[in-house]
Structure 1
C-alpha cells in the first residue's frame, strides 16, 4: 500500500474516533464526561498528560487529572497546576486555543515545569456562545503540536463545552431552584398533596392477640397437698354452688385417720388406768395431767384428719361453668396446697383480655374504642371500650414481653364463648400521619442516639 493511502486511512480513522467521542460526550453524565475529556481524548490526539479546569464546578473539584481518580488538593503537583491554570485563565489568551512552553509562564512556574509537565502544552478553552469561559483543557506531550492536532482538538472543544454546560445541572438556565420549581406546577401540586396527607390527623391503632376471659372468676384450688383422684365435671359444664367438682385421693388420709384414732384410744386407756391407780398411788396421780394433755392432743389431730378427709371432695364455690382444659390431664396428677385446678365463671359475664407487645404499645386512654376480630368469625367483629391497662409488662406463654389490657364488650352484642381467641385493635388519639409512620424509625433513632 502506498504512503498517501496509508496517510488517508490514518486520517479517516482519526475522524471516525472524533465522531464517536463526540457522540459519547453528548450522552455521558457529569463525572463520566470529565473522565472522558481527560483520558479518552487520547484516542484522537496523542498526549501524555491532560488537565480539565472547570469554572465554579457543582459538587466536584475544579481540576480533573488524567490517569488518577482524585486530584489531592494538598499535593505539590496539584498546587503547581493550580498556579499554572490561574496564570492561563487570567491571561489575555484565556479564550483562545494556543500552545505553551516552559518559557511562557512566570519564571517561578517555569523553573518547576520540567519536573511536573511535558515540554509542549496546548490550552483548549471551553466557552459558551457569547464567549464566557466555563472551563478549559490543558494537554501536555513531549512532541510539538501539529496543525492537524490543533484542528481536531478545536473541533472537540465545541462538543465538550456544550456537553459540559448541559451536564452541569446546578446552573442550566441561570435560575434558582425555587424559580425552576415554579415552572413545574405539577410537582408543586404533588408536594402540597403529600404534605396535606402527611399532616392529616389519623387515629393511632395497635393490633394484638386477644382472648375472651371471665370477669371475677371463682378459682377452685387444692385444699392440701395430695393427688387428684378424679374430676367429676367436664370442661365447660354448667355447675351450681356446692356441687362436688374434684376428688383427691383418700388412701393416705384414711390411713392417717385410722392411726390417729388408734393412738387416741390408747391414750384414753392409759389415762383410765392411771386414774384408777392414782386413788392409791401418789406418783400415778402426778401423771394424770400429762396423760390428759396427750388425750387432748390426739383428739385435736383426729379432728384435723377428719376435716382433711372431708375436704378431699372440693365443691363449687358459685354457680357458673367449669373452665379448664382436659379431665385426663388432672387425673392422678399431684397438686400442691393452693394450686388452681379450674375456674368457675359466668358464661355471660365476660371481658376481652389483650396482650400488646412492649415494642408496639402506645398511650391509650381509658374508654378508648376496641374492635375484636374472633378467629371463628372475623367478618363479624365485636366492639367495646378499654377498661384496664397493666402498670408493668410480663412475659406471655409465648415468651413475648407484653402489657395486659382489658376491654368491656358491648352488652348489646351476642355473648362470646369463654376462651375464644382472635385479634383486637385498640384505637388511640388522633395524630399526624407522618408521626404514626415514623414512630418506629424515631424510636430506633432515639435508642441509637441515647436521647
Structure 2
C-alpha cells in the first residue's frame, strides 16, 4: 500500500496568472501522458499498477486501490498503491471487497465518507482508509462495468480534481476494455489452434476408450429389511384400539404389542350370556314338566342342544376377549409404520399388523426396474449408498433374484432382488433406504454407455 507522507502546512499564497497557467499546463500534460501510458499497457495487472501508483502525479492522495468486477457479479482487488502484489485473504482486501460490493455499482464519480456507509463498514473505515474517499467507476464503451478506482486522503476533493479524474477514468476504462477484448480474442484463437490438432487425438482416444472393458451396472432403490422376521397378524376381525409399543421399539417375548377394540366382542358376549341364561331356564322348566309329561321329556334333547350351543358361544367369545391383546411371539424389534396409521383401522383375521425381527439379522431388498435390468446372477456384488451416509458404501452379495417382475405402488414394474451384507461391516438399522449399485457381466465401455439408446433404436426399427 503506497502511503504518501503529509507535507508541512504553509500559509496559503495566491498564485499569479502565469503560475496558474503553468499549473494548468502541467496538469494537462500529466493527464495526456497518463492516458498514453494507459493505452500502451499490455496486461490488466500492468494497468492496475499504473492506475494506483502513477495517478498520484495528477492528483494527490494517500491510498489507492483498483477494484475489478468479475463475471460472477462480485469483485476482487486488482492492485493497491505501494504493493507489487495483493493478498486476497488479507483483512484490507476483504474490507475493500465488502465496501465496493455495496458501493461499486455507482456509475458516476462520487465521494465516500463514513456518513455514506452502513454502520459495520463505517466502523472499520478509519482502520483501513483516510477520511475522504473518492470512487471513480470505470465503464467500457459497451456500457459494461469493469470495476473502478478508489482514492483516499485526509483532505476533501475539489471540483477540479473530479473533472481531471473523470477524463482520466475514460482513458483507463478504454484501455482496460481493450485489454479484456484482446485477452478474450487470444483465448479464442488459442482454442481454435488447439482444437484442430487435438481433434485427431480425441477421436483416437475415444475409439480406444470405447473398447475399454468395464462391468455392467445398474442403479435401483433399496431398503434394509429383516432377514427372518416373525409376522404378527390380527387374531380375528376387528378394529385396532391402541398400540402398547412404538415403532422400532425393542420388545421381549410375550410383551403386549397392541389391542383390538373390545366393544363389539363385549356386546356379543352379553348377548351370548343372555341367550345361555334363557336356554338354561327353558331347559330347567321343561325338565320339571318331563316328570309328568312325556311330550316334554322328548323336548329335553333339543333344549339341551340349544343350551350347549349357547354355552359354546359364550366360551368362544370369552376366548376371543382373552386374545384381544396381542403379545410378542419372540424378543426383537417391533417393526411397523406410524401408530396413527393403525388406530381405528378395521383389520381382518390374518392381516399383517407388524413384524418382530432381530435387529442384527438384516438383508438388503432391491427393486430393479425392468428398464434398467442387466444380465446378472446370484453371487454378483452390490454396493449400497445409504441416503444418510452416501460417502461410505456398504458391500453386499446377491443371494436371490426374482424371475418375474412385480408392479409396485409407484406403478413401476421391477425385479425383486435380495442381497446379504458382507462380513466385517458395521450393523445397519432396519428401515434405512438408499440406492444400490448392482454389478453384472463385463462388456465394452461403448455398450455400457449406449446400451439404452441401442435398445430403444432396435425397438423402434423392429430389428
TM-score by length of 2: 0.55
Q: Does 1:450 align with 2:429?
A: no
Q: Does 1:198 align with 2:210?
A: yes
Distance in 2 of aligned mates of 1:440 and 1:210:
22
1:356-395 residue pairs with structure 2 within 5 A? 356-395=368-407
Residue from 233, 236, 259 that aligns with 1:224: 236
Residue from 348, 352, 363 that aligns with 1:340: 352
The 3 A distance-change label for structure 1 pair 189 and 327 is closer
Q: Does 1:255 align with 2:267?
A: yes
Structure 1, residues 158-212: CA drift from partner, whole Å, max 9, x if none?
Answer: xxxxxxxxxxxxxxxxxxxxxxxxxx99988766544432222210000111111
Distance in 2 of aligned mates of 1:435 and 1:330:
49
Query: What's 1:213 paired with?
Result: 225
Distance in 2 of aligned mates of 1:411 and 1:305:
50
Q: Considering only CA atoms, is the larger Rg found in Structure 1 or Structure 2?
A: 1
Structure 1, residues 132-178: CA drift from partner, whole Å, max 9, x if none?
Answer: xxxxxxxxxxxxxxxxxxxxxxxxxxxxxxxxxxxxxxxxxxxxxxx
Distance in 2 of aligned mates of 1:395 and 1:338:
23
SS at match of 2:228: coil
Bigger shift: residues 367-376 or 274-283: 274-283
CA contact 2:377–2:401 (8 Å) conserved in 1: no
1:115-130 residue pairs with structure 2 within 5 A? none
Shift of 1:413: 0.5
Residue from 419, 436, 440 that aligns with 1:424: 436
Unaligned runs of 5+ in 2: 1-195
Structure 1, residues 302-350: CA drift from partner, whole Å, max 9, x if none?
Answer: 1211111111111112211111222233222222222222111111000
TM-score by length of 1: 0.57
Query: What's 2:326 paired with?
Result: 314
The 3 A distance-change label for structure 1 pair 188 and 251 is closer
Distance in 2 of aligned mates of 1:282 and 1:205:
89
Distance in 2 of aligned mates of 1:242 and 1:323:
16
SS at match of 1:424: strand
Bigger shift: residues 374-383 or 440-449: 440-449
Query: What's 1:64 paired with?
Result: none
Count of paired positions:
268
Query: What's 1:286 paired with?
Result: 298
1:139-218 residue pairs with structure 2 within 5 A? 193-218=205-230
Unaligned runs of 5+ in 1: 1-183
State the superposition RMSD in angstroms: 2.0
1:58-137 residue pairs with structure 2 within 5 A? none
SS at match of 1:197: helix
Query: What's 1:403 paired with?
Result: 415
